[in-house]
Each structure stands twice: as structure tokens, then as C-alpha cells.
């Protein structure tokens, strides 16, 4: 087992709500120049990323060191930034040259139509900044040269607003205006911003990862090291900690959650990936994870209970969590076992629904998730 010191449950909560630095780096300096000062340049960067993704030609662009857009595209590619709406496009020869076109046509795309992995987080950050700072005019001006600001402004004009703005505040930190968690100097993870458009309730949910969930309007990821392949949602090692997938849907309580998953390698003694169930308008969470030497977390602290906690990595385990407003029960079973074994119970108070959930990567681990299901609990 690795000998690196273990993190507390507080750190696990940070794991599942860590700041996506790349997403917000351009908007933390809220009154500085927007990220993209030339939409022609930005459009070409996004076109190149789509071309590389569709044609597996990133190697070609690595050789274009004299092309600033290619250099920027390769830099983003290496940071696991990809086109999220790649199915809207295809790569084909038109007029004797390879081009990226809108799917089913011969029309070359506008690169600004390519939506990137990091865009959703930055849109949510900007909308929180607008709500807190009355800086809509600033972002309207920025929208002329910043495609992500443009998308945020358009959502605002459609009447969409942050739904949990009371959790945040806008203040000067280290000389710059930033959106931070209220009462702190900590810049927010923009995926913690809930929008009024997220206000969709489900009674049942069953995700088996047979299709690419990140092409849907409800799942988002921190970066493209989180992906779907071979019927699993997978996390690969990418040199950064705390990659995550987020699904914005609400569930009334009581609810039962079942998830089969595996920390394949590199969990630093974590043997089950982190599942965070958010409530209180996204401001609080129930964390479910397991450390081989500290047992299960089911709520807000490690319990010391090791029942069905995998002793080592690369062990498939299925958990079942029954979540009620006044507490819950955790069950688990290994592959080959017919029935669940009760692990523990926890007590909490939840007034209202679960607002969304996250599946998180411990450290820089390789993780596989087979399925996650929500059903109304008896």
C-alpha cells in the first residue's frame, strides 16, 4: 500500500467539491480582460480540437509549432479538454481537403460552435458573478470576444438564474474580484453553482453507461480524463487530483442509491470511489467512500467500520444506500455475493430533496463505475 499520509473526511469533501482551476482562472480576475480576446483565434483553436478528436490527428498539430492556434489547441488537449458536442460534427473530404463539417452536411463548421469540456463550469461561475456583482454589462461587453461569456449572457437573458446564490459571495481576494464560498476566501468550484434550469425531479434513475453521458444536457465532467468506454464510466490518471462527474437532477426522499464501482489503481488506500449526494440547495453533502485503514465514510466522517470495505484496490463492490430525511443505512456486497450486508447507519437532518450528485476520483486514481441507480425507498 502507498505510505502517503491519509486525508480526513474533510479532505474527501474537498475531493468531491474541489476547485476546477482551469475553468475559472479567467473569471476569477473578474474585471480583467476576458479569456479569449479574439473569437477568430478561439474559433480556430476549437476547430483544431474537434479535428484532432475526430481524426486522431493531434500528432499533426503538435508539429505545427509556428501556428499559435495549434499550440494553444495542443495545450488544451494535453489538459484533457475535449469537444463535448463532437457528435454534432464529422470529418470528411470536401473539395479534396479534409474538413470538419456539421454532421450530415458538407458545410465547414464555425469553430465557436464547438462546446468544450470546461465551458459549463465557467458559464456557471459567470452567472454567479453577474448575480452577486451586478456586472451583466461587463459580461455583455466581454461576450463580443469571449464565446463562453456570450453563452452565459444568453442563458441570463433566457431567465435562467443561479438557484443557490446564498452559498456564495463576491469579494476581493489577493487583489482580484472573485466568487467565493460565503464566509471564506476560497474560490468556488463552479460546478457547485445550481441553476434554475436544473430544477427537474426524478423518481427513478438508471445509468448503465452504454452511451456517452457527457453528450447529454444533465451530466458534466471536470475534464476529459473522465469518459465512457466499454459500458463503464472511467477515470484515467491525468496528473491532476480530484476529477469528477456531476449529474444535475433532484430526488425527493426517501431514496435508495445503488452503485457498482472499482478503484482500479492509484487510490492511495482509497478502495471505493467517492459518491457525494448533495442537499440543502447544494450546500451540504452525504459522502460515501472507503479507506482501507479507516473504514467507511457515510455522512461526514470516517466511521472505523470496515465491513465490506475492500482491503485492496481493483476490487469490484456494489453499495446500496438508503437515504431518509433523518438518517440512512449503508449496505454493500462483493461480486459473487447474492445479498447485501448491512455496513452501518448514520443520522442527519435533511429538509428538502437531493439536488445533485457527484462521483469523484480519489487522488489521481484509475476508477471504473459500472452503473448507478436511484429508486424511491419504501
Cis peptide preceding 159, ω within 30 of 0: no
**Whether 213 and 117 share a structural domain:** no
The SS3 assignment for 61 reads helix
**Whether 92 and 212 share a structural domain:** no
State the pLDDT confidence band at 38, using cuts at 50, 70 and 90. Answer: low
Residue 350: the pLDDT is 95
179 occurs within a structural domain: yes
Under a CB-based contact definition with an 8 Å cutoff, are residues 331 and 296 in contact? no
Residue ending a domain, among 166, 192, 218, is 192
Gap between the Cα atoms of 37 and 250, Å rounded: 38
Using one digit for the tens of pLDDT, what is the confidence trace for 60-116? 999 999 999 999 999 999 888 999 888 899 999 999 999 999 999 999 999 999 999
Mean pLDDT of all residues in the chain? 88
Q: Based on the structure, what is the number of domains in the chain?
A: 2
* 279: phi then psi, degrees, rounded to nearest 5: -145, -170
Q: Whole-prediction pTM value? A: 0.80
**Whether 105 and 211 share a structural domain:** no
Residue 377: the pLDDT is 85
Percentage of the chain modeled with pLDDT above 90:
74
Using one digit for the tens of pLDDT, what is the confidence trace for 252-273? 999 999 999 999 999 999 999 9
State the pLDDT confidence band at 221, using cuts at 50, 70 and 90. Answer: very high
Using one digit for the tens of pLDDT, what is the confidence trace for 262-304? 999 999 999 999 999 999 888 899 999 999 999 999 998 999 9
User: What angle, 0 to 180 degrees and rounded to 10, lies between the N-to-C axes of helices 119-133 and 21-28?
Assistant: 40
Provide the domain limits for residue 216: 200-376
**Whether 205 and 113 share a structural domain:** no
Residue burial 335-372, b: 16+ Cβ < 10 Å; e: rest: eeeeebeebbebebebeebbbbbbbbbbbbbbbbbbbb
Amino acid at each position: 500500500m502507498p505510505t502517503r499520509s491519509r486525508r480526513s473526511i474533510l479532505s474527501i469533501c474537498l475531493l468531491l467539491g474541489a476547485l476546477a482551476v482551469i475553468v475559472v482562472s479567467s473569471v476569477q480576475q473578474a474585471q480583467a480582460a476576458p479569456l479569449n480576446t479574439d473569437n477568430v483565434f478561439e474559433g480556430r483553436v476549437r476547430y483544431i480540437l474537434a479535428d484532432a478528436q475526430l481524426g486522431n490527428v493531434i500528432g499533426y498539430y503538435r508539429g505545427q509549432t509556428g501556428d499559435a492556434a495549434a499550440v494553444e489547441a495542443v495545450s488544451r488537449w494535453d489538459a484533457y479538454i475535449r469537444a463535448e458536442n463532437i457528435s454534432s460534427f464529422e470529418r470528411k473530404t470536401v473539395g479534396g481537403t479534409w474538413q470538419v463539417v456539421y454532421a450530415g452536411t458538407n458545410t465547414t463548421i464555425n469553430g465557436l460552435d464547438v462546446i468544450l469540456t470546461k465551458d459549463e463550469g465557467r458559464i456557471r461561475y459567470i452567472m454567479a458573478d453577474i448575480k452577486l456583482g451586478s456586472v451583466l454589462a461587463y459580461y455583455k461587453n466581454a461576450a463580443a470576444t469571449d464565446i463562453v461569456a456570450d453563452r452565459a449572457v444568453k442563458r441570463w437573458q433566457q431567465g435562467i438564474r443561479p438557484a443557490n446564490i446564498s452559498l456564495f459571495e463576491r469579494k476581493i481576494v489577493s487583489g482580484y474580484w472573485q466568487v467565493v464560498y460565503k464566509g471564506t476566501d476560497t474560490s468556488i468550484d463552479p460546478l457547485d453553482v445550481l441553476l434554475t434550469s436544473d430544477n427537474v425531479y426524478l423518481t427513478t434513475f438508471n445509468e448503465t453507461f452504454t452511451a456517452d453521458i457527457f453528450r447529454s444536457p444533465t451530466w458534466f465532467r471536470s475534464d476529459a480524463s473522465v469518459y465512457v468506454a466499454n459500458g463503464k464510466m472511467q477515470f484515467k490518471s491525468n496528473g491532476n487530483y480530484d476529477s469528477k462527474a456531476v449529474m444535475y437532477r433532484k430526488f425527493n426522499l426517501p431514496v435508495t442509491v445503488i452503485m457498482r464501482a472499482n478503484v482500479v489503481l492509484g487510490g492511495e488506500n482509497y478502495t471505493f470511489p467517492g459518491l457525494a449526494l448533495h442537499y440543502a440547495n447544494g450546500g451540504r453533502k452525504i459522502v460515501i467512500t472507503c479507506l482501507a485503514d479507516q473504514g467507511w465514510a457515510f455522512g461526514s466522517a470516517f466511521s472505523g467500520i470496515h465491513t465490506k470495505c475492500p482491503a485492496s484496490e481493483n476490487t469490484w463492490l456494489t453499495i446500496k444506500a438508503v437515504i431518509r430525511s433523518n438518517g440512512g443505512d449503508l449496505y454493500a456486497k462483493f461480486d459473487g455475493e447474492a445479498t447485501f450486508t448491512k455496513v452501518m447507519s448514520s443520522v442527519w437532518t435533511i429538509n428538502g430533496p437531493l439536488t445533485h450528485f457527484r462521483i469523484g476520483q480519489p487522488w489521481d486514481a484509475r476508477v471504473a463505475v459500472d452503473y448507478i441507480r436511484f429508486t424511491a425507498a419504501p
